Amino acid sequence: ILVQLASSVPFEERNRPFIQKGLDHYFSGDYVSALHLLVPQLEALIRQLLEKAGLAPAKLVRRDNNMWEFESMGTMLSRASKELPDLLPQELKIYVERTLCATTGWNLRNRIAHGMVSQGECNRMTADTVLHLYLSFALFRAERVTGEN
Report d(CA 146, CA 24) in Å as an integer: 32
Identify whether the C-beta of residue 45 lies closer than 8 Å to the C-beta of residue 134.
Answer: yes
Greater pLDDT, 143 or 16: 16
**pLDDT, tens digit, 9 for 90 and up, residues 119-146:** 999 999 999 999 999 999 988 875 556 5
**pLDDT, tens digit, 9 for 90 and up, residues 43-76:** 999 989 988 888 887 766 666 666 777 888 898 8
Residue 145 is predicted with a pLDDT of 66
- Residue 96, CB half-sphere, CA atoms under 13 Å: how many? 27
Q: Which band of pLDDT confidence, cut at 50, 70 and 90, is reported for residue 17?
A: very high
